Amino acid sequence: MSYEHDVDCCCGAIQVGQEVPDFELETYEPAKGDFGKFSLSEQKKLGKWTVLVFYPADFTFVCSTELADLADEYENLKAAGAEVVTVSTDTVFTHLAWKREEKFLENARYPMGADRTGQVSRMFGVYNEETGLDLRGTFIISPAGELVASEINFYNVGRNAKELLRKLQASVHVANNPDEACPARWEQGGKTLTPGPQMVGKVYDALK
């Protein structure tokens, strides 16, 4: 699939640190073999984190590998307290057909959201008005509805679900321990930093 158009994304996209407005998405639910609905407000009521994974289109190439990679980490992401929703501008019927036909998706169990109008995609600044396709955007939303992490890649660069898991776990850790910060390459159970005057110029020593 060729993507030769300039990207014209929504200028008013939500920024990290801002509250995400409530939204709903129609979904195909592979675990149930049925259609459903995802609601951010319901996630907040349940006290759960939300991970949104936008991608260009079903029945494409890099997307298949990304969703397979995500399937491998889905249970770990759920164990960290999150629900994962993949999102494109395809219909729920196309999601069902793609899941059925593409072997890379045979282990996918996460909800697959259908943003047919591009409304939610515009909210996060990943919608291409010329093509009607989404960029590869990944967003982590806290149980309070705050956007705490975002990543946007162009069409031809795939993402890493293990790094997504690491960022989610780090976000959960600092939410539960607000005086701490996670250094580069932090992994669950690793050393954290407690910023303060005593640590200025002494970060190396603090992590030894």
- Catalytic residue positions? 63
Contact 111/28 with Cβ under 8 angstroms?
yes
Q: What gap in Å lies between CA 196 and CA 175, rounded to an integer?
A: 18
Pairing of strands 112-114, 82-88: parallel
* Sheet strands (E) in the chain: 24-29, 34-39, 49-54, 82-88, 112-114, 136-141, 147-153
Question: What DSSP state is assigned to residue 105?
Answer: G
Using alpha carbons, select from 59, 121, 62 the residue that is nearest to residue 87.
121
> What 3-state DSSP class applies to 51?
strand
Strand partners, 129: none
* CA angle at 24 for the pair 93 and 10, rounded to the nearest 5°: 95
Q: What gap in Å lies between CA 3 and CA 153, rounded to an integer?
A: 13
User: How many helices (DSSP H) and strands (DSSP E) are in the chain?
Assistant: 6, 7
